[in-house]
Structure formats: structure tokens, C-alpha cells
């Protein structure tokens, strides 16, 4: 190597360093303002550092999904349905902001319960033995009465009987659609999904109270069938390698994995936003980041971000900003 080669390498390294410096954004101090809107708050906080930067990236990526006419998958765990996030999901479905939803059975059960019953703010520190005596079930700091689940059993058996008169063999997503058609509650995400033809997939349909009710119903009607495999095929056929696809994942588990595995078969997602409290260091699927998904081909681009935090705080902030910026609200 001669001195000219060395000089050229030094010049190239210097150019790369200067380019890197030009791309860096300075950290900005946050200051509260009178009557600050959510949009203004996120515009300011995204330069503070740490997870606030990822919060801003999540907004940008979801906006890009929509502007790029990507098919958008939304996945969430059952605790999101237990909370008041139910209303935000219903709103997103009514606006047709997302195209496909995947969740676990608890979210569907509790959406149905809330058409007739109320859930209550409780405490993480409640005495659980005392709650058991009072007939109260605790979901974190959300309290649900035993009587609400008794009501659910009555509602779901009536719905199943009505659906059975028309169809004896369904997939889980078809069952959820048929239930949604019959709920007539604008605040229900199951109702709004059915009304707006947004499929809700529930791979683990038996993993909850609904599963037990389905078992009891099948005991009375042996010819009643739910075809989970046919639903999985339908989920895979929801998208293709040729079209743009994006995913918003709240939490992890089976809902997250079904969205990713279905699109791995279709050459991966183009956009992804994960919001989770799980961490990657245990090797769990729930904690796996968007970076890890690249190694599997579940994502095919770096238009992705993992935001570490609790979705009941972060997702409403993100979507308020997105919906305002894109003119949906």
C-alpha cells in the first residue's frame, strides 16, 4: 500500500465522519407549555432522548404505513381489551385505519361483557384473598365482578344458539364476525370490526371463558365445529409478497407471532411498530425486537421500531398524533 492509498483512505474516513455528524440530531430540552396538545407534546418530547425518540419514530412509521397504502395488521393481548383501550380499537376499526386484527380470546370476551357490564379501577396492591371473598377478579389494577362473567355466559350461549341456526361450521374469525354483527354497541371493537368488514383472528380461541362455553355448546350440538386450520390459511392469504404490509404490535404472545409468521411466508413486513414491556434478554417471542425479526425475514426493511413501555399510555399518545396529522379526527 503506497502513501496515495493511505491518503485516499483517510479522506474517505473523514468524509464518512462528516456525513455521520451531519445526520446527528441534537438533544433538545423539554419545556412545558400552556394548554399543550398531544401533537405538540410528541413533537417536543421526541428530541429528549431514550424511549421518547422511539415514540416519535413510531408515529412516523405508522404514518408512512398509511400514506404508502400498506395493509395494516394490528395485534394486541387480552389485557388491552380489559382496559379502556377497547374504545380506541373500536375507533380505529370504525375509521378503517387498520385492515386485519389479531388478538387473544380474553379481549373478545371482555369486549362482549362490556356491552352490558362495567369494569372498575382498583389497585395493584389489593388483598386478593379478600377480593375472592367479595366475588371480584383482579386484572392488574382493574376489577371485574364474578357476576359479569355469569352475564357473559348467558349472552354467549344465546349468541351461539342464534349463530348455530344459520351456520354449524365456522372458523374462529367467522365466529367473531357473527358475534360482532349481533352486538349493536358502537363502543365494541368486535361490533365495529364486523360492521366495517375487518377480520379479527383469534388463534387461541379456547384459551379462556369462551373456550369453556364453546365446549358446553358443542356437548349440546355435536355437529358444531370451529376450524382453526382453515383460519390460519385465511390469515396467510390476507396478504401477498407483492403488496406493502405494516404491523402494529401491542404486547406479544400468540397474537404477535401469528401476524409475523403469516407474513414471513409472504416475504415479511415492510413496516413495524412494537410496543412492549418485555425485554429481549430471555429469548422470548414477546421480548423479541424488530431487529431480531429482520434475521428471520419477518421484516424486510428497517422501517421499524421497538418502543419499550406500557401500551395503555403510549398507544393512545401515538395514535392521537397520527390520527390528527393524517386528518382522521
Indicate if the pLDDT at residue 116 is higher than 80: yes
Q: At what angle do helices 209-220 and 105-113 cross, to 10 degrees?
A: 80
Average of per-residue pLDDT values in the chain: 93
User: What pLDDT shows up at residue 171?
Assistant: 98
Indicate if the pLDDT at residue 197 is higher than 60: yes
User: What pLDDT shows up at residue 98?
Assistant: 98
Q: Which distant-in-sequence residues (6+ apart) come within 8 Å of 298 by Cβ? A: 260, 261, 263, 264, 268, 269
What angle (nearest 5°) sits at the alpha carbon of residue 314, between those of residues 49 and 100? 125
> Grid coordinates standing for 44?
417536543
Indicate if the pLDDT at residue 4 is higher than 50: no
Which entry of 66, 71, 114, 298 is annotated as an active-site residue?
A: 298
User: What pLDDT shows up at residue 15?
Assistant: 56
Q: What pTM did the predictor assign?
A: 0.91
Task: Please count the CA atoms within 13 angstroms of the CA of 296 that sit on its side-chain side.
Answer: 19
167 noted as active-site residue: no
User: What pLDDT shows up at residue 17?
Assistant: 56
Are 264 and 297 in contact, with CB atoms under 8 Å apart? yes
Q: Give per-residue pLDDT as tens, 139-167.
A: 999 999 999 999 999 999 999 999 999 99
Q: Give per-residue pLDDT as tens, 76-98.
A: 999 999 999 999 999 999 999 99
Amino acid at each position: 500500500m503506497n502513501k496515495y492509498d493511505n491518503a485516499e483512505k483517510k479522506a474517505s474516513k473523514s468524509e464518512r465522519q462528516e456525513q455521520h455528524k451531519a445526520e446527528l440530531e441534537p438533544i433538545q430540552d423539554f419545556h412545558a407549555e400552556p394548554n399543550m396538545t398531544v401533537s405538540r407534546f410528541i413533537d417536543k418530547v421526541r428530541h429528549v432522548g431514550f424511549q421518547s425518540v422511539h415514540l416519535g419514530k413510531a408515529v412516523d412509521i405508522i404514518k408512512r404505513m398509511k400514506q404508502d397504502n400498506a395493509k395494516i395488521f394490528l395485534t394486541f393481548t387480552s389485557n388491552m381489551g380489559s382496559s379502556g383501550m377497547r374504545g380506541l380499537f373500536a375507533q380505529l376499526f370504525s375509521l378503517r385505519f387498520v385492515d386485519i386484527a389479531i388478538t387473544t380470546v380474553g379481549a373478545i370476551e371482555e369486549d362482549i361483557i362490556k356491552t352490558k357490564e362495567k369494569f372498575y379501577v382498583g389497585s395493584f396492591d389489593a388483598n386478593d384473598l379478600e377480593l375472592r371473598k367479595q366475588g371480584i377478579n383482579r386484572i392488574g389494577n382493574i376489577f371485574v365482578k364474578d357476576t359479569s362473567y355469569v352475564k357473559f355466559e348467558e349472552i354467549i350461549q344465546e349468541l351461539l344458539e342464534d349463530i348455530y341456526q344459520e351456520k354449524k361450521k365456522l372458523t374462529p374469525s367467522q365466529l367473531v364476525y357473527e358475534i360482532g354483527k349481533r352486538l349493536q354497541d358502537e363502543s365494541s371493537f368486535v361490533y365495529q370490526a364486523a360492521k366495517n368488514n375487518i377480520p379479527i383472528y383469534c388463534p387461541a380461541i379456547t384459551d379462556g371463558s369462551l373456550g369453556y362455553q364453546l365446549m358446553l355448546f358443542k356437548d349440546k350440538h355435536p355437529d358444531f365445529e370451529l376450524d382453526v386450520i382453515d383460519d390460519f390459511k385465511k390469515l396467510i392469504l390476507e396478504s401477498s409478497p407483492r403488496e406493502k404490509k405494516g404491523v402494529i404490535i401491542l404486547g406479544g404472545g400468540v397474537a404477535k407471532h401469528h401476524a409475523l409468521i403469516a407474513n414471513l411466508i409472504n416475504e415479511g413486513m415492510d413496516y413495524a411498530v412494537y410496543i412492549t414491556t418485555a425485554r429481549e434478554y430471555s429469548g422470548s417471542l414477546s421480548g423479541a425486537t424488530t431487529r431480531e425479526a429482520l434475521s428471520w425475514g419477518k421484516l424486510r426493511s428497517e422501517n421499524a421500531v421497538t418502543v419499550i413501555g406500557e401500551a395503555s399510555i403510549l398507544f393512545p399518545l401515538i395514535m392521537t398524533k397520527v390520527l390528527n396529522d393524517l386528518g382522521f379526527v
